[in-house]
Amino acid sequence: MMGTLDLPKGGRAARQEAHNTYRLQTNENRQDCLERLLREEAAAFAARLAAKLPWEIDEKVDEKMYNFLSRNYQTVSDRFQSHEDKLSCENERHTVPELAAMLENCAGADHFNTGEIEKDLADKKWGSGGLEAHTNNKLRRKSGVGSFIDPQRINSVVSCVFKDNAKKPKTVTDLQFAVNIPETELIDPVTRFQSRALYLIREVICKRLSEIIDSAEILKTQGKEEGAVFLDSILSGSLVISPLVLDGHLLNIDTNSDIEAIRDRGFSAASNLIVAALDSGGLGCQFLENSRRELLIREYEDVCDENLPDERYQIKLFYFNRARVLEERKAYDDRLDVLSGETRRLWDLLEVIYQDSKSVFKVNDFEEFARKNKNRIKTITDYDSEKVADVSGASAQGGKEKIRLLFARMEERIRNLYDNMYPAERRISEERLAMLENEFSCFEKSINPHNIQPGILVEINLTSIKRKRTTIDAMSSALARFLDNAPEGFH
């Protein structure tokens, strides 16, 4: 059952203070934490070993076991850290060179129009202070990401699109918005470090050591002296772990029981928190469906747009661990590959028909004109349709741009082929093109998982009357309170 939570005022300041505290704990306690874990696991493993062997082991085995775990942990953790750094580089976003791509992914260039600001800069009737105030006032009135979320949270935005409502474009606006709270902000570094260190010690090092000891018959059949010498030789060496096995552990390290329990508890608290934030903002909720790490809040009539009011919203709350993020990215790429292949297939068909229809005695289009004069002009651009249409191996954003280009070129091809005639071939081609464009439009509306880091994802779809902005303003306030307080449930 969903409960309610008291939302503290001034959550941003409280949250920042807590974040700094955890950072201090990490710097002061990480080495001490590791030392304690190694000592505890060394003593526990020595006790299990003593129970297995037919003779009593030396008291110094505890210290030898500690040295063995410490030495091998350093090797394994270095491999894990390099793996972490690689994934962090893959997930890094919103850097200065990628700013244009980030804006394009969020909404597209047409949704970030700077015309009003440029107009102000051209007008000399304001001083510097007045110009800034006037520009800020325009930005507050203009629909944009800054009018919905606190600027301090702008780097967490995954998608933000304001657009006119299809049925009432003059009076109603639609907003598609998604924000991602990374797991690094939710689970404090000390807890993450401790759970990962325990996994590496227990599941990688100790488990491999147990396999070696269990397979060593000398420890069971020979006397104490021979067995002790052999045991010392094992503990003085280093483990040899298959890279494939180690990579498997590195991928599964975030699914250990300690971290999973924190995620489940934190997501449950976040679910209660967002419901409480909506209630406190006067929004409430009609229909609520909660499953493991997924929450859906919508109105009862959401299945039929005709019955919905002009002020409405839908919220989806997810928790993505690293494994699920990778799955979502693969599914997204596969869907893009299928769409790219179907688009290329239609393009190839239209291109064959178009080439067959051209006269061999004259120049029919610009591309043919350019190719015929290619050797005479040094700076001419190669307009080879094969190169333009090739979308294989492209990035997600580059692949989408080339699909858009193919759509425009196919519309031009159909017009050039059939002019004012409407044979069956034209009807079939136009229907297929419309279907692909509709599928592409749905694909573009989905969240690009390549922009998501492991953690919480809040996806909001709302509709609001432009002059009132009732739902937009209330949702903005509720979202701010949620983002400020959501990490508390994970601590």
198-249: pLDDT as tens digits: 989 998 899 888 888 888 777 766 677 777 888 888 888 888 877 787 777 8
Q: Give the separation between CA 260 and CA 267, rounded to whole angstroms.
A: 11
b/e sequence 200-235, b meaning 16+ C-beta within 10 Å = bbeebbbebbeeebeeeeebeebeeeebbeebeeeb
Cα–Cα dist 317/78, whole Å: 35
Please tell me the distance from the alpha carbon of residue 461 to that of residue 132, in angstroms, as a whole number: 32
- If you average pLDDT over residues 106-126, what whole number do you get? 43
Handedness of CA 115, 116, 118, 123 (dihedral sign): positive
% pLDDT > 90, the chain: 21
Query: In terms of C-beta density within 10 A (0-12 exposed, 13-18 middle, 19 or more buried), how is residue 167 classed?
Result: exposed
Determine the average pLDDT of the residues in 369-383: 63
Higher pLDDT pick, 73 / 114: 73
Residue 156 pLDDT class (50, 70, 90 cuts): confident
- pLDDT at residue number 21: 37
Locus of tokens 């067959």? 356
Q: Which of 115-124, 232-241, 245-254 has the lowest mean pLDDT?
A: 115-124
DSSP 284: -
Name the strands in the sheet holding 172-182, side by side, starting at the edge strand that comes first in the sequence.
Answer: 157-164, 172-182, 455-465, 312-320, 294-298, 287-291
pTM: 0.68
**Cα angle for residues 97, 102, 104 (degrees, 5° grid):** 120
Alpha carbon 400 to its chain centroid, in Å, reads 18
- Residue 16's pLDDT band (cuts 50, 70, 90): very low
* Closest to 185 (Cα-Cα) out of 489, 441, 421: 489
**pLDDT number for residue 22:** 38
Neighbours of 69 (CB within 10 A): 22
Whether residue 279 is predicted with pLDDT greater than 70 in this model: the reply is yes
Q: Looking at residue 2, what is its pLDDT?
A: 43
Higher per-residue confidence, 16 vs 240? 240
The whole-angstrom separation of Cα 148 and Cα 144 is 7
Q: Name the amino acid, one letter, at 459.
A: E
Q: Is 464 helix (H, G, I), strand (E, B) or coil?
A: strand
> What residues contact residue 162 under an 8 Å CB cut-off, 6+ apart?
107, 111, 143, 144, 173, 174, 175
Residue 423 CA to residue 136 CA, distance in Å, equals: 56
167-202 pLDDT, tens digit each:
888 888 888 889 999 998 898 888 888 888 998 999
- Strand 294-298, strand 287-291: pairing: antiparallel
Mean pLDDT of all residues belonging to the chain: 76
Confidence of residue 392 (pLDDT cuts 50, 70, 90): very low
Query: So what's the pLDDT on residue 119?
Result: 42
State mean pLDDT over 87-95: 49
Task: Check: CB of residue 100 under 8 Å from CB of residue 106.
Answer: no
Q: Is the pLDDT assigned to residue 73 strictly greater than 70?
A: yes
Task: Examine the pLDDT at 8 and tell me if it is beyond 80.
Answer: no
